[in-house]
Amino acid sequence: MEQTTISYKSMAPQNIAVIGCSGAIGSALMHQLAAIHPDATIYTFSRSDPKEYSENIIHTKIKYESEISIESAAMKASEYLPLDMVIVATGILHDEVLMPEKSLKDLSAEKFIHLFSVNSVLPAIIAKHFVPRMNKKKRSVFAALSARVGSISDNEMGGWYSYRASKSALNMIIKNVAIETARKNKQAIFVGLHPGTVTSYLSEPFQSNVPKEKLFTPEFSAKKLIEVLEKLTSRDSGKFFAWDGEEIEP
């Protein structure tokens, strides 16, 4: 029994980073990881301060548009220990001026570039600085929140050009990072995650068409995503999984 406890503790993540911890899902992930792993340090980053902290959370503000700020975040999170888990919970679908496109006539280069810069480029630059700081001596996981609508094979409805394309690009970036890193860090796992349809600012304008039982709380989604992360093996690296563990074809 003692042996089991020791080996579980040595497997459990000790050093975790959550980027985008002010979002609905990022915040729920931050709190649940802090509770599940009380002996771990949870380094959290967002543009604003979270409303609540646990003792094992160390929060720092980040400027996503500054690569220096992202590099500093990675250095801070790995100052004492390499990273066992990195979660990128950032992403946008709409904002005050931008709504997802229903048809080609709604496309705007400026809005397209903005969505790509948040949903695809930002996670890639985060990977650039956080991945070299991941643990090489034991299993580590890097997960970015993607979206099922980023699956090309699953696209039956069309629309949402820039969001869909930016998440498809994110899935490709994850796959690339997995291939490249497998050569240097065999125990690192890289995945995209679909959290389900979750109550948040991001989903708010689109919730009315979602059946009640399919609209998750951020807490439920975070719990399911953490269960998925715990079960991943190196064979899963580069793939894309839904909240219930189902693999989604790219």
Which of 26, 100, 238, 250 is the binder for ligand NAP (CB under 6 A)? Answer: 26
Q: Is 162 in the site for ligand NAP (CB under 6 A)?
A: no
82 touches 133 (CB < 8 A): yes
User: In whole angstroms, how close is the CB of 184 to ligand NAP at the nearest point?
Assistant: 27
Q: Is 150 in the site for ligand NAP (CB under 6 A)?
A: no
Stretch that binds ligand NAP, among 10-18, 77-85, 124-132, 195-203 (CB under 6 A): 195-203
Residue nearest to ligand NAP (CB): 91
User: In whole angstroms, how close is the CB of 112 to ligand NAP at the nearest point?
Assistant: 14
Q: Is 63 in the site for ligand NAP (CB under 6 A)?
A: no
| Amino acid, single-letter form, for residue 211 | P
Which of 24, 131, 134, 178 is the binder for ligand NAP (CB under 6 A)? Answer: 24
Q: Is 46 in the site for ligand NAP (CB under 6 A)?
A: yes
Q: Is 200 in the site for ligand NAP (CB under 6 A)?
A: yes
CB atoms within 10 A of CB 106: 14
Residue ranges in 101-130 that form contacts with ligand NAP under rule CB under 6 A: 118, 122
Q: Is 83 in the site for ligand NAP (CB under 6 A)?
A: no
Q: CA-based diameter of the chain, in Å?
A: 64
How many positions of this chain bind ligand NAP (CB under 6 A)?
27
Stretch that binds ligand NAP, among 72-80, 104-112, 175-183, 193-201 (CB under 6 A): 193-201
Which of 9, 11, 47, 63 is the binder for ligand NAP (CB under 6 A)? Answer: 47
Q: Is 145 in the site for ligand NAP (CB under 6 A)?
A: yes
Q: Is 64 in the site for ligand NAP (CB under 6 A)?
A: yes
CB atoms within 10 A of CB 207: 13
Q: Which of 61, 249, 236, 250 is closest to 143 using CA atoms?
A: 236
Binding site for ligand NAP (CB under 6 A): 20-26, 46-48, 64, 89-92, 118, 122, 145, 147, 194-195, 197-198, 200-203
